[in-house]
Each structure stands twice: as C-alpha cells, then as structure tokens.
Structure 1
Amino acid sequence: MRLVWRSTVGKKAVMAVTGAVMLAYLVAHMLGNLKIFFGPEEFNGYAHWLRTIGAPVLHHGWFLWLLRAGLLTAVVLHGVAAYQLTRRARAARPVRYAHRRARTDYATRTMRWGGVILALFVVWHLLDLTTGTVNPHGRPGQSYQNVVATFGTWYGNAVYGVAMLALGLHVRHGLLAAARSLGLAGARAERALRATGTGLALALTAGFLVVPVAVMTKVVS
C-alpha cells in the first residue's frame, strides 16, 4: 500500500477513487435535499431516518458520523494527493514553458481554488446544518426549518451559491482529469467525457441551487 501511495500512478489512482466516492455522495445528497419540496414533515422524517440507519446495531446518529469520517478521509487523501502531484510536476519542470496553454492553466487554477473553496464550505456547512452553531434557527430535529433559516439570509445564500458554482467547475474538470490520469481518455472518448462532465456538473449545480432559490422565492417557506 505504501508503494502505491508513493508512486505518481498510485496517487492519481487515489485521487480518482476518492473523487468517485465523493461524487456518489454528492448525487445522493442532492437527491435527498430535493425532498424539501414535499414539505416539513417528510423532510424532517427523512433527516430523522438518516440518523437511525443501522439501528439497533448502531446507535442514533452513528451512521452519519461514520459516513462523515469516511468522507473526511476521502477529502484528505484527495487533497494531499493533489498537492503532492502538483509539487512533483513543478519539480520535474523547474523552468516554465515559453508558451503556456491557457485552457490547461485555467483548468488547473479552477481545480486548485475550487478545492480550497469547497474545503472551507464543508466546515461552514457542518457548523450551519449539523451542529447548528451558525444557523439562525439551529434546533435539532427541525432540519426543514434550519434549511429555510439558512437561505433566509443573504450570507447563507452567498456562501452556498459560491460553493456550488465551485463544485460544478470542480466536477466538470475533475472527471476529465481523472480519466486522463488513468489513461482512459483517448481521442474519441474525450469529447464524450467532456460532455458527460459538463452535464453532470450542470445537474449537480442546478440540483443544489434550486433549494435556496425556492426559499428566496417563497416556494419553500
């Protein structure tokens, strides 16, 4: 395992696998969020169900904390591998190219800063809707009301909006980058992967942003 981690190919594989894990979670999380349109009773019931998964083997809330621990591990491995690969690439090319490729540089910057924005957002999101520390309502068992309270503030919408746009760009570039790193993106497959990444990024971004928009327009209140 240590040999895999030390190799460049191994780090790229770790990034691809952890990225896939996080992407699967995001899709499930987005679909769960959309249950808010069925009203407070169903949404709060869904939130309660998440805390009872695994019972009676697992105590109340244990599944979610195990899930968070697993996701945190994936995030850390993903970020560390990305940082170390960047350092290796710079060390292997101490002198910059005379002509920089604008598209590649844009994608690289997007991935780097998008990752930082998302990491900061995760901290805020946990303090907001998990612990209730920064939530205007912040009452356990009232997930629907907590979500409405968050998106009833300008800063809640601003933080969430910026993070979801960063997420969309990260997913769009990340899918193609992962395929290239693993040697799966040939000339024919690249267009399909680019279209898939763009479509998935748009779907995730729209799926997450529709909730704050619904609260702002009083469709959800």
Structure 2
Amino acid sequence: MLPTSSVGRKLMMAATGQMMIIFVLFHAAGNSTIYFDKLNAYAAGLHAFPFLVWAVRLVMLVAVTFHIYYAIRLKLENNAARPEPYQKKKEIESTFAGRNMVWTGAIIGTFLVYHLLHFTLQVIDPATAARAHLDSAGRPDVFLMVARSFQKAGIVAGYLFAVTALWLHLTHGIQSSFQTFGLNGDRSFPLVRGGGSVAALGLLAAYAAIPAVIFVGLLLR
C-alpha cells in the first residue's frame, strides 16, 4: 500500500534515496577495478549471474520510479502550502544544493538514460561496444569500450557535468534522508551533515577520476 500522508511520502522518498546511494557506492567500488586491469573480469563475473543482475536492475528501477514520483509530489505539495514570505525566508536559509534538488535530479535522470544506452545497451557507439571486441581471455572488452569513450572530450565533459550534479544532489540528499529518519538532533545532525558531505565528495572523486585520468592518458593499456 502506498503512503497517503506527507510523512509517509517523505519516508518513502528517503528510503528509495538510500537504496540508490547504496547502489552508487557498490557501482563505484566495481568501477575501481579498472585501475588494476580487472574491469573485464569484474564485468564477466557479474554477468555470470544474470538473474542477480536483472533482479538488482528491477529493484533499482522501482526505487528510481518511486523516488521521482514522491519527489515531484512533495515538491508540488510544498509549493502549494507555503505562502510567499515563507518561501523567500526559506530560500535565504537553504543551501544551493537544497534549492536545486529538482534540477540536479533531472540532470541525473537524463544522464542515467544516456549511461544505460552507452555502457549497458551499448548503442551509442557500436564500434567501441564491449561485445564487439574480446580481450585475451575471450571476455567482452569493457576496458576498451570505456577507454575509447573517455578519450573523447565531449563524452568526458558530459560525464563530469553529470557527476557534479550527482555530488550536489547527494550533498543535500544524504543528510536530508537521515533527517527524515529522525537523526536531526543537536548532536547527531552535525555528524550527519558532515558525513553526508564527505561521502558525496568521495563519490564525486570516485566517479570523476576515471574519465579524467583516461582523458589525460594516465590510464591506458
């Protein structure tokens, strides 16, 4: 049953947000295997369990759908309930990341579609698709696909723009989700805010580093 109260909707959005944060953390860890020339082995290992891969994809699709739905609904409810003076006061007190959650979310959503078309479905540039090239072990050459893609300035710029939006979204989203679950006391909130900022910055570094180091020629075979 879907939540009918504003509090329930906030809890649902926070829960789905944290599910996506966990996925983003694991995805970053998996991507890091590229530094040790283990990306092809990692990808092949994942796809040795197609049921698990598709189960995770389905869960994340549901989480993303609910997250977007409740984000839009809560935004509309808040706009309808707030008088203009409160809105102006709130804008002064809030952060840039908090004020632009809708926009950074839209950027992330658009990028996610592109990312799936690029590296999952591999239809953006079929000539560099992993399934079109095998490595020495006979596995789809994911490393080659990633390396060739990130040698193109436009693709790198797009990815860096998207992960910057992700950083801003997480800077506010992590602390906001924990606040929703009650960690908003005088002692706990500074820790949540600081921890959320550090985690968001760490993920920015993790996701931005790969296209950057490949583009400047520091990570090539």
| 1:207 equivalent in structure 2 | 206
Tell whether 2:113 aligns with 1:107: no
Q: 1:83 to 1:105 in 2, by over 3 A?
A: farther
Measure how far apart 1:108 and its partner are: 3.2
Q: 1:100 to 1:45 in 2, by over 3 A?
A: same
| 1:69 equivalent in structure 2 | 58
Q: Equivalences for 1:1-221 in 2 at 5 Å?
A: 1-2=1-2, 5-39=3-37, 42-53=38-49, 61-97=50-86, 99-101=88-90, 102-104=92-94, 106-135=96-125, 137-140=128-131, 141-221=140-220
Report the Cα distance in structure 2 between the residues aligned to 1:209 and 1:105, rounded to whole angstroms: 23
Secondary structure of the 1:6 match is coil
Report the Cα distance in structure 2 between the residues aligned to 1:151 and 1:216, rounded to whole angstroms: 6
Report the Cα distance in structure 2 between the residues aligned to 1:18 and 1:99, rounded to whole angstroms: 29
1:162-217 deviation per Cα after TM superposition (whole angstroms, max 9, x unaligned): 11111111111011212223332112222111110110011101011111122012
Aligned residues: 210
- C-alpha RMSD of the superposition: 1.7
Residue type of the alignment partner of 2:210: V
| 1:57 equivalent in structure 2 | none
Query: Does the aligned pair in 1 maintain the 2:111–2:162 contact within 8 Å?
Result: yes
Report the Cα distance in structure 1 between the residues aligned to 2:87 and 2:98, rounded to whole angstroms: 18
Q: TM-score, normalised by structure 2?
A: 0.89
Report the Cα distance in structure 1 between the residues aligned to 2:118 and 2:169, rounded to whole angstroms: 23
- Identity within the alignment, %: 31
Report the Cα distance in structure 2 between the residues aligned to 1:210 and 1:99, rounded to whole angstroms: 38
Query: Does the aligned pair in 1 maintain the 2:97–2:171 contact within 8 Å?
Result: no
Structure 2, gaps ≥5 residues long:
132-139
Report the Cα distance in structure 2 between the residues aligned to 1:6 and 1:114, rounded to whole angstroms: 26
